A and B are shown apart, each in its own frame.
Chain A
Amino acid sequence: MLRTQPRSVDAAASKRRSLLRDTCGAAAVELAVTLPVFLALAIGTLKFGVAMSQYLTVNNAAAQGAMAFALSRGTTTPYTTTTTAISNAAPNLTSGSVTKTLRVGGTACTTDSACQSALVAGATASVTVSYPCDLSVLGVNFKSSCTLSATAAQMIQ
């Protein structure tokens, strides 16, 4: 019998062919391909859900803060009253990371005495609440320096 190919080559080719047909471990390979996608989706959904929940909280805190600010004319502690109202309306946020900006007619005030003298009946009191959010999923940050922010306004009574 004439051998045109060395036996070893033939065996290797045959093994290659059988390897291609072999379905053992296919599930593992498929898992390896789909798992990152599913993980990214699951973590992404979770992170986005957390951010959405925090956004609702920030919105609500801004509305509560504006209400407290607009009603605190004539008191000696309008700034403290308002910032406390915001903190109380956002118990699930890290209080140190919440940025609170109080404005009367567009001009910011940052102390009780400054806010007290700025509050005039009929003017617009507005409160902006900002909170950092984290939208990085598996090392990919979908929005770097992401900030949730909400502004609410009330007429000073």
Chain B
Amino acid sequence: MKYSIFAALRSLRHFWRHQQSGSTLVMAASVISGVVAVAGLSVDVGRAYAAKRALSGQTQAAALAGAYALAQANATSGTVSTAVSNWTTANPVSGVTISGTPTPTLSCVTSTSNLPTCNGTNPNVVSFTQTGTVPTYFLKAVGVSSMTVSSTASAAKAGGTVKPFNIMFVLDATGSMGSSDSNCGTIPGISGSPSRWQCALYSIQSILKVMPTAQDGTALMIFPGLSSQYSPGSGCSTSSQPGSAHYYATTVKYQIGTTFDNAYNDGSGNLSASSPMVRAVGIYKSSSSTAPCLTNKGGEGSYAAEVINKAQALLAATTNNATNVIIFLSDGDYGASQTNLSGQSSKVANQCAQAVTAAQAATAAGTQVFSVAYGASTATSGNSSSCTTDTPTRISACTTMQTIASDSSKFYSTDSNCSSTNQLSQLPSVFQAISTTLTSQTKPRLLTQ
């Protein structure tokens, strides 16, 4: 036995030393097994990396889902945990087995600026950590059957010290707004095709419903202005609205009420009937509507440059460090007589261009100007010609409204002829979109670890 082992070793040594034919094949076999092992290692590690990326994406999504739940009314650590576990159950990471039952932790973070205020009982951040295992294929051969991956994410809830908005509605109350607007769609409580005026009032109601009252004050100006200050009271009648005054008259009052209103809705999408803003524009509902206190009396032609300047001056005079917004609702066709303009001959020509100049000055001063066109004409000649005082540079009512907006994303139109890049056929959804744009800084966000 001893002899045979030595003999075998000797012959093996002899083989290595002297027998070289076929040695490459032997070496190749050993090298290939090494190469396969390394390739297998890289496959397993690569899979683990891919799983870690997927896990971190899912963890971030779960933390944001928790932050969303934390921002809801009456949120508790329980509702946040439920939201996070519902999310991870509904969106599992394939290939990763999560260890245990991870639960999110809530905390009050003040080191990052612009987060919602917080204290010990009112947290603002959700942190979530998940650890899991990824099974291996090749490393099993060396006894490693799985690899551990882990991921942590923190998300702050919505809110934050968002800059509030001062929102000035500038509403065209001329006679031409009484024309019917077939593109407006249906309005609850209004039978048949609504007028441009009703459509505009409903637009204002729609945005007042969804704006956050805690942050955003609203005010309203109409043109032509009124001969005396009008602040609609309870149970107003349309006869209580003062008559229209000449543009540039010393006593003209454009603003309805005298302050920015912060009590226009109840926080649940219902307009507050006691708000002066809401009294002015009314509440259109499918039953028991509240009629608006305002009518489109008109009677002074149509001229917008002065009211835009006055709206901007009023916004510029506010001291609450808010972002100023003008929402301008009109048909865009201006052409008041010299009498209507209090005899100011220099204001008679190019009235549409004057409105655009006034709006662009407001934009230059930092105000965001949105414009909403109701049946604005695109014609610059013929019977339906618009902006007839604008010579020699003819522009249409539609172009006027487009250029009054600060940029194309802030222009909306009911009419497909006067096209807007915001192709929204229903105005309430337009205003939902405007409102979301204005409040979009309040979304939850991820924090660095």
Interface residues of chain A, those whose CB is within 8 Å of chain B, are: 23, 26-27, 30-31, 33-34, 37-38, 41, 44-45, 48-49, 52, 55-56, 59-60, 62-63, 66-67, 70-71, 73-76, 113, 116-117, 121-122, 124, 126, 150, 152-155, 157
Contact = CB atoms under 8 A, between A and B. Distances in A.
A71 B39 CA distance: 40
B216 to A, nearest CB: 15
B158 interface: yes
B447 interface: no
B36 A41 contact: yes
B136 to A, nearest CB: 14
Contact of A34 (B25, B47, B49, B53): B25
Contacts, number: 103
Contact of B61 (A56, A117, A122, A155): A155
A27 B22 CA distance: 8
Interface residues of B, number: 42
Interface stretch (B269-277, B322-330, B435-443): B435-443
A131 B21 CA distance: 48
A157 B433 CA distance: 14
Contact of A76 (B25, B50, B433): B433
Q: From B54, B158, B422, name the one whose CB has the most chain A CB atoms within 10 angstroms.
A: B54
Contact of B68 (A41, A55, A157): A157
A66 B57 CA distance: 9
A89 B25 CA distance: 46
A67 B437 contact: no
Nearest to B38: A45
Nearest to B439: A74
A48 B39 contact: yes
B32 interface: yes
A45 B58 contact: no
B53 A60 contact: yes
Contact of B43 (A23, A48, A56, A73): A48
Contact of A56 (B50, B58, B64): B50
A52 B43 contact: yes
B157 to A, nearest CB: 10
A33 B25 contact: yes
A102 to B, nearest CB: 15
Nearest to B31: A38
Q: At the interface, is chain A mostly helix, strand, loop or mixed? A: helix
Given A38-B28, A74-B440, A30 B22 contact: yes
B24 interface: yes
Given A56-B46, A56-B49, A154-B61, A34 B87 contact: no
Given A124-B90, A152-B57, 10 more contacts: A23-B21, A45-B42, A48-B39, A48-B43, A52-B47, A56-B49, A66-B57, A74-B437, A154-B61, A155-B61
A153 B61 contact: yes
Contacts of B444: 157
Interface in B23-67: 24-25, 28, 32, 35-36, 39, 42-43, 46-47, 49-50, 53-54, 56-58, 60-61, 64-65
B91 A38 contact: no
A35 to B, nearest CB: 9
B423 A113 contact: yes
A37 B28 contact: yes
B289 interface: no
B421 interface: yes
Given A41-B32, A150-B54, A155 B65 contact: yes
Contacts of B65: 154-155
A51 to B, nearest CB: 9
Interface in B66-112: 68, 87, 90-91
B61 A152 contact: yes
A23 B22 CA distance: 10
A150 B55 CA distance: 12
B36 A75 contact: no
A58 to B, nearest CB: 9
A117 B423 CA distance: 11
A55 B50 contact: yes
B385 to A, nearest CB: 31
A122 B68 contact: yes
A55 B51 CA distance: 10
Contacts of A117: 429
Contact of B24 (A31, A44, A66): A31
A48 B43 CA distance: 8
B39 A45 contact: yes
B20 interface: yes
Contacts of B158: 157
Contacts of A62: 57
Given A55-B50, A153-B61, A75 B437 contact: yes
Contact of B25 (A30, A66, A121): A30
Contacts of B90: 124, 153
Contacts of B58: 152-153
A71 B22 CA distance: 65
A116 B25 CA distance: 64
B64 A74 contact: no
B409 interface: yes
B31 to A, nearest CB: 8
B73 to A, nearest CB: 13
B423 to A, nearest CB: 6
